[in-house]
Amino acid sequence: TNRGPTGMTRFSDAFENIGGIGCGVLLNAQSVVIESSYNGPMLPCPITTQGVAMLLDACKKDQIIHVKFVIDILQRGITILKKLPNISEVTTNITKQITVVGDLHGKLDDLFIIFYKNGPPSNENPYIFNGDFVDRGASSVEVTLILLSFLILYPNHVTLNRGNHEDRILNIRYGFAKELQQKYRRYAKRLTCLYEEMFSWLPLATLIDSKIMVVHGGISDRTNIKAVQNLNRHKVRIDSK
């Protein structure tokens, strides 16, 4: 991949051409009106267990979730993620087990199969989702909304790590930016900015019982945990225009 100025300009130009409402326009869920033509789920804000059930059912039916609810879930997820350290710490002392899920890449069927076999996340059934939630698959929006909704419901038992595809440039190259444009058109650019913000606050790794390190992309035998803990993870991003 060309990482030089020319390549960066090309990707940036591609990003600037999507969407209608720019990053500089402030949006909040309450200001977005739901059109009478909308036939998707009316999700509660904030999301509840019943709301998550409605979300899962709508995703199974291939319904588009209204942008109002997308914005609300993203913003509430960001609020939680901002408070987290670079390395999350979880324990199996109470639950005795924890499920680690790798690259979902926008594949909703894979996520549903995992929930069917292992049960959905809960206080008694903790999960670590180890990055690469988006790109390649056709349902990156739905996958991220489901994961963030469970994070909102169970912030102490659902952990999200950042992968290399939680990145603006890769989203342009591998399909997530296009998916947002196809599903949300007028709001695509603003949603892309919100997703970029959310990605930049995702923790970088998770420690299980202070013994097992879960991180996207692997580790070496010289991994300095203290150095990772002290990184400014939010700084490594491309500022929106």
Catalytic residue positions, numbered: 165
d(CA 46, CA 107): 25
CB 92 within 8 A of CB 209: yes
**Can you give the C-alpha Rg of the chain in angstroms?**
18
H or E stretch at 112:
helix 108-118
Question: Which residue's entry shows tokens 């199996």?
Answer: 92
Peptide linkage before 5 cis (omega within 30 of 0): no
H or E stretch at 7:
helix 5-16
For the chain, the first-to-last Cα distance in angstroms comes to 23
